Every structure is written in structure tokens, then in C-alpha cells.
Structure 1
Amino acid sequence: MKLALVNSDTENAISSAEKLREFYDFVPVEEADVIVALGGDGYMLHLMHDLLHNDTPIFGMNCGTVGFLMNKFGVGNLAKRIRQAESYCFHPLKMTAVTTSGECHTGLAINEVSLLRETRQTAKIRIFVDGKERLDELVCDGVLVATPAGSTAYNLSAHGPIIPLGSDVVALTPISAFRPRRWRGALLPQKATIRFEIIHPEKRPVSAVADIQEVRDVAEVTVEQDQSIEITLLFDKEHTLEERILNEQFIN
């Protein structure tokens, strides 16, 4: 098994990479069977975006703070850990955003696609699911669509539901909704096509963000799963991503 090693630019990640190189030989990323990544969740998110069109599995080890997407760092038995690891494969969300000037932008999201107001005025957004209008006017700070992997990130902070892996749904979650006041969002099939129309976009400007890519002054945004791209993460059996997401539901 050929392993590649990549790391963030933090002191901890750099020193950890040096320790691994003392015991293992690594190959370039393009020659690897598995990519070993050292850093935190932010680094892993950027790395997955960089490798979206590379189907090599990634085994992350935490050298950051939370490390939700990472395994525990350790020098010993690395090859054995990787061989025994459980894999999680998923498809990113594809965002297609049309601006008020008519420009079309696309982006991919592993965690979520979020729409956010740009000024002091609340956003007014109309929501369609698979071509059917579901909400004629959402008055809010914003709204987001989160994957199961991203449901414990921004979605959870916005009081959205934690989604177990394998449930084949995404979360549609409002951000500080003013009207309808009691609307808490919805769970939708992963294959659903969700379209947002911005009401009065010149007066109430809205930006759209796919993880790390922002498009400002949008008039319409469509979100759907991109099944042409598959990302594989590897996790130690005793602490899989599925277990972490499940455990989050029992943390006060």
C-alpha cells in the first residue's frame, strides 16, 4: 500500500509529519493508494476541495482543535490502522448561483450551501423543492442546505437537526427566521433539487456560500447533489464518523 503524506502549516502538524517520515516512506499524492492528512477540520475541508476530482481515500489524523473529521494522531501501526479502517463515501452538494447581473457561478459543498443577507435588512426568500413552491416567503437572516457530514457544523449552530449517516436526507434549515416564525426547516431527500428565489434582491441583497466559495448579490440559487463526484474518508473502527455524529445527539 502506497501512502502519501500532506499536512497543514501549523507547528503541530509540521512536527507530526516529521515524526511520521522517520518511520515511513511516502510517495507523491498522484501515486498514492491512500492519502494521510495531518491537521484540523478546516484543513481537511480545504484538502477535500482540492482533491474533489481525485478518488484516492483520505485518512486524516488530528493535529488541530476539534478534529471531527479526523482520527487520533499516532505514529505506530499506521498501515494496519488504514487497512482496518471503515470507509465513508459521499457526494458533495452542487450550488448554481445566478447573480442580479445575470452571471452564473457554480460551487461544490461538502458541509453546506448557505444563503446569507448582506445588509442590515432581512432577506426575503422563496423556496422550491423539485419544482414545487413550498414556501412563498421566508423572512430571515438566511437559510442553508446541509449534508449529513455537515449537519453538526453551521447547521447545528442554526438549530438544525443532526442527520445520521446513511439516512439519505439533507437538512433545509432557516437562519434566524422572522416569518414564518415557527418554521424550523425540513428534512429532504438527498436527491431533491432545491431552488431559492431572492425577493427584491437589489433592495435586500443576499450572498450564497458553498463551504469556502462565496457569490454575492444572487438572484436565484439551485442546490442539488452532484453524484458524479465521490469522496472517501477512512476512520478507525472504534471511532467512526457515523458514531461521532450519533454521539453528538446526546451531548448537552
Structure 2
Amino acid sequence: MRRFLLFLNRGKEHAAEKAASIREQLLSLGAELVDIEEHDIAGIRGEDYDCVLTLGGDGTLIRAARGLAGSGVPLVGINLGHLGYLTVASSDEEIPGVLEKLIADDYVIEERMMLNGRVIRNGHESPRDHEWLALNEIVVSRKTSAGPVHFRIYVNGAFLNEYKADGIIISTPTGSTAYNLSAGGPIIDPAARMTVLTPICPHSLYRTSIVLRAEDVLEVWIPEEERGIQSADFDGAATEELLGGDLVRISESQQTTPVVRIGGESFLAQLRSKMAAL
């Protein structure tokens, strides 16, 4: 790799100083181009860069993944927060080694699956420009109602189950260590291809997550008699309001997110290290 874009989260302390330091290190190692972007990464041309380094946390990398969807540019996460499951470096001591390996082409690229989500209202699908992408998860949950909501789940058109819960999380393997984990769902190797359905605070003894094939199409339907306003949230970046009778259709996206993995450390070893930091 020789051409880099540093995608900066200005909300993180010392982010600008860190970006300037990383830029100088990359140039000293022989990088041909190191640009810094801190606002909107959408529209970046894949042929202009070999790699995008995100400086922030998991949320910064996810935001970059959505903006770069379809470009093919791999992402490397540098963590400036407390804990980043998607990042490869979290301290000043780790960063130089990561940069050296990137310049030396000593890395592996993992293609992470993404999800598509569309709202079906009154039997009509939302326009194509309202098809949302998610790298982590799609969450359907209550917005204004005081109590739990009824959700009916269908898989490939067949009824699966009905939940009375605060919400439903449909997660990718990458997102399994995020909201899914907090709600009691399983941790999955991020390079795998599958989806995980996890209820949020279900009002039932049946609380188990369900792991499904990546190619399965899930539908989360809110019964027409359900009052109040619910919402469909896509990676915490886009939200659509839902009413009774609305349905959210979720499927595997044709887009993937290429994420750089440094060194030969396995996912389980990385997970053990992250969990020990809690």
C-alpha cells in the first residue's frame, strides 16, 4: 500500500494531532500520498487510494464503511476511544508496527458481509434510494410507545415466531460484538457469513438468539393493531419511523466491507485481548 486516506473523527480527543503524526510516519516509510478527511467520506473514488485508515473507534469505521460501500477500498481502524472490536491498534506503541506492515503489504483483507434493509408500507416497498446498508446491525424497536411491542418474524416467507419485546436486533457477524452482545446474543467470527436475530428485553421465557444463513431473507412485521411509533435503525446512522402494519425486509447485501487484519493473530486471540481490557 502506498496511497492512504486518514478518515478522522474530530470528536475524539487529540484526533487532529494523531492524524498529523500518522501522516508523517507514513510519508517517512515511503507512502506516496496521505490525505486527511474529517467530514464526508461518501464519493471517495476507490482508484485514488489503496487504504482508508479510520481514526476514532468502531463507530468511525462503520461510518466509513457506509460511505465507501462499493468502492472496494479496504479499511484499517485505529482506536482513539476505550474499546474497539473492529480496530487493529489502540495505543501509540502499536501504531508504528501497523503502519510498517501496511507499507510492506504484510496483511490480510477480510470481506465482511453487510445487510440491506427496506421498509414495506401498505404493501408497497420504499423507493430504491431508501434501501439502507448496515455493517453492524438493523434494529427495529419502539420509539414512542411506553410498553413492549409485538413483532412477528418471517424467514423466507415462513412464519418463525412472535415476540413481545422492546425491540429486535438483526446483526451481522461483525456486529455480533456490539448491541447484539449487550442484549445477550452470541459472538461470531466476523469473517463468517450469517445473521443473528436477538430480541431486546423480551417479555417471555423464550429469550434465545437465532442464527440464520446469510442468504435467508428476514421480515420483521409490526401488527396493524400495534399503536405508537416504532423505528428501524441502520447502524445508528439512519432511522425510519414505522407504524402498525409496516414491515422491514432484511437481506444480505451484494456489497461487502473489506477490512484489513494485521499479523497472524486469530480472531479468538484478538477477542481474548479485547475482553481482558474490559
TM-score interval, smaller chain: 0.7 to 0.9
State the alpha-carbon separation in 2 of the partners of residues 53 and 237 from structure 1: 26
Contact 2:108 2:260 in 1 (8 A): yes
TM-score normalised per structure 2? 0.80
Matching residue's letter, 2:174: A
Render the CA deviation track for 1:94-146: whole Å, top value 9, x for unaligned.
001134696724211111111101210311111110111111x3111111111
Mapping 1:199-218, distance limit 5 Å: 199-200=223-224, 203-211=227-235, 212-218=237-243
Count of aligned pairs: 249
Mapping 1:32-181, distance limit 5 Å: 32-72=49-89, 73=92, 74-75=95-96, 78-81=99-102, 83-99=105-121, 104=126, 105-118=130-143, 119-135=145-161, 137-179=162-204, 181=205
C-alpha spacing 1:222/1:101, structure 2 compared with 1 (3 Å): closer
1:6 maps to which residue?
7
1:224 maps to which residue?
251
Q: 1:39 offset after TM fit, Å? A: 1.5
Contact 1:194 1:222 in 2 (8 A): yes
Q: Structure 1 stretches of 5 or more lacking a match?
A: none
State the alpha-carbon separation in 1 of the partners of residues 194 and 98 from structure 2: 36
Contact 2:118 2:125 in 1 (8 A): no
State the alpha-carbon separation in 2 of the partners of residues 178 and 77 from structure 1: 46
C-alpha spacing 1:38/1:165, structure 2 compared with 1 (3 Å): closer
C-alpha RMSD over aligned residues: 2.6
Matching residue's letter, 1:198: I
Q: 1:240 offset after TM fit, Å? A: 5.4
Identical aligned pairs, as a percentage? 27
My pick for the range that moved more, 205-214 or 66-75, is 66-75
State the alpha-carbon separation in 2 of the partners of residues 15 and 201 from structure 1: 54
State the alpha-carbon separation in 1 of the partners of residues 276 and 98 from structure 2: 32
Q: Structure 2 stretches of 5 or more lacking a match?
A: 36-43
Contact 1:144 1:173 in 2 (8 A): yes
1:17 maps to which residue?
19
TM-score normalised per structure 1? 0.87
